[in-house]
Amino acid sequence: MSKQVVVVGGGVIGLLTAFNLAARVDQVVVCDQGEVGRESSWAGGGIVSPLYPWRYSPAVTALAHWSQDFYPQLGERLFASTGIDPEVHTTGLYWLDLDDEAEALAWAAREGRPLSAVDTSAAYDAVPVLGPGFKRAIFMAGVANVRNPRLVKALKAALQALPNVTLREHCPISGFVQQAGRVTGVQTAEGVLAADEVVLSAGAWSGDLLRTLGLALPVEPVKGQMILFKCAEDFLPSMVLAKGRYAIPRRDGHILVGSTLEHAGYDKTPTEDALASLKASAIELLPQLKDAAVVAHWAGLRPGSPEGVPYIGPVPGHEGLWLNCGHYRNGLVLAPASCQLFSDLLTGARPVIDPAPYAPAGRLG
């Protein structure tokens, strides 16, 4: 397919969009205002599931299921081609003392997902470091987490090895170039970058960029803070989640605990209040973390969107402009399906998932 595509935004959505398109178009250029993969994609936890999948619409569920099934082979493919292991780590996930446990179990039965109630004693046997006092547990086997900083490094390396892909870091986009009602490129500090198709995948900044065309995209930054501990490699055998906070084990013994949900504009400053709150949650979940040092504390900006349903497809009235953005808390979860679906739509292939729920048409102001 003879096209030059410019992808605006180099997070996991932009990088994987470029990776999928590279085999189908002539040239792909990825522009990022900073270093690729260093915003929300780097800052998140990397659970390959929505935190509470039964609370989401079927549109999110469809993307999540496809992605969950695809992640292991994506990790293996990237590791084989780059030598960087994204560490797709299957541990399963325990939810503790859920208020809507009945809804969760009904959703699992309806969707055919391996989630079931377990005796609390079985949860404590499986996760001996779990804090006392939890009364109920449900468990979903097969849930993995991906080490997201390594995932974006692997994607970056894979793209750098492709002759028809160019990564332009520290290349902010100030607007879109239009000719005769068609978007024909983007405006950079170095001048116009021409394109046959432009893909907006700029995370929390996507709404600001689309506003330059007079379009209202309801995507806004939502701050999330995380902390990281270092423990023995076998300290936490499974992911655990209670009261909206989770603990995620990495293979090398690092434990991520998150996260906050804050509307603070583009402020990414970690705060002492959040640190204290996250430490308290960590110790309630896993009391032995009281004696573990916090080795890192950071914040990122999620691309908040209504009901977390992303925008995937062409922008009506602006031929040549496409969206793949607005994944809110589930960008890493939904990336493989979203980017495959997007590539199918742009190149005219048969879509892997019904694209209708994600179409920008009718959802922009």
Residue 212 shares a structural domain with residue 225: no
Residue 230 shares a structural domain with residue 133: yes
Q: Tally the domains of the chain.
A: 2
Q: Which of 304, 321, 345 is at the close of a domain?
A: 304
pLDDT digits 0-9 by tens, 267-308: 999 999 999 999 999 999 999 999 999 999 999 999 999 999
Q: Which of 259, 275, 304 is at the close of a domain?
A: 304
Query: What's the mean pLDDT in 25-46?
Result: 96
Alpha helix segments (H runs only) across the chain: 12-21, 40-43, 58-82, 101-111, 120-126, 148-160, 206-211, 272-285, 331-347
Separation between Cα atoms, residue 321 and residue 37, nearest integer Å: 22
For residue 60, is it within any domain?
no
Residue 297 in contact with residue 226, Cβ under 8 Å? yes
Contacts of 49 (CB under 8 A, 6+ apart): 64, 68, 93, 140, 143, 333
Residue 10 shares a structural domain with residue 30: yes
For residue 363, is it within any domain?
no
- Look up the CATH number of the domain holding residue 326: 3.50.50.60
The mean of the pLDDT values for the chain is 96
Residue 132 shares a structural domain with residue 156: no
112 DSSP 8-state letter: T
Its domain, for residue 196, covers 4-47+150-218+307-358
Residue 259 shares a structural domain with residue 276: yes
pLDDT of 1 strictly over 70: no
pLDDT digits 0-9 by tens, 164-175: 999 999 999 999
Residue 225 shares a structural domain with residue 294: yes
